[in-house]
Amino acid sequence: MFVWEFLAVGAIGFWLLLVLSAIIMSEMLDNDAPGWATIVAIVTVAVLVVFGGFNPLSYLAAHPGEIVLGIAAYFFAGAVWSLVKWYFWLVKLRRQLDAGHDHRRVLYTAGVQQFPPQPGDHKSRIIGWIALWPASMLWTLINDPVRRAAEEIYARLGGTYQRISNRVFQGYTKETNRD
């Protein structure tokens, strides 16, 4: 009975499960693994159905018109989000290239086969953004500013990190530790 109450729609467990699932799905989408993100979404719904007393079929039967409108609105919002996310993704890629990172490595890691990047080469990534846009949007709005702040802090402290390293290993060479 405890699990039912903990995962009931609106209970704290329900929201924790949704947030955790959204974070995992978002990370999967950012790593171009929309299939795994979809599996997480399906497992989340299954957990809510089995353990949370969530019954989507009764709601579907009682409100078919609302469901059709909701699905249309969902995919419209996903399409709009995918355009915004594509722009953010391209800007991030450009920033990495402008920062002087190894161009071949950056483009390979991002899955860029042609330059400029072609949407057709990133179809699964974009479809993931459309289909799972709430998780993608949530993670992008939370993660991107935090990551950018951390990168800025690292850039400003880079010399300090090196001075600490130099001080700790002062007088030590590779040959010092050889037998």
pLDDT digits (tens, 9 = 90+) for 19-64: 888 888 877 877 777 778 888 888 888 887 777 777 778 878 888 8
Contact yes or no for 128/120 (Cβ under 8 A): no
pLDDT at residue 1 is higher than 70: no
Residue 80 has pLDDT above 90, yes or no: yes
Phi first, then psi: give them for residue 10, nearest 5 degrees: 95, -15
Percent helix, strand, coil in the chain, to 5, is 80, 0, 20
Check residues 9 and 135 and name the one with the higher pLDDT: 135
Length of the chain: 179
What are the C-alpha distances in Å from 74 to residues 81, 114, 117, 159?
10, 31, 27, 47
Per-residue pLDDT of 140-158, as tens digits, reads 887 778 878 888 888 888 8
Q: What is the pLDDT of residue 176?
A: 62
Considering only residues 179 and 61, tell me which one the structure prediction assigns the higher pLDDT: 61
Task: Copy the structure tokens of residue 61.
Answer: 């039967």
Average predicted confidence (pLDDT) for the chain: 81
pLDDT of residue 56: 76
The total of other beta-carbon atoms located within 10 Å of residue 122's CB is 20
pLDDT band at 84 (very low <50, low <70, confident <90, very high): very high
Structural domain total, the chain: 1
pLDDT of residue 175: 67
Looking at the chain, the number of H-run helices and the number of E-run strands are 8, 0
What average pLDDT score do residues 101-126 get?
78
Contact between 21 and 135 under an 8 Å Cβ cutoff? The reply is: yes
Determine the residue type at 179. Answer: D
Q: Which domain holds residue 103?
A: 2-177
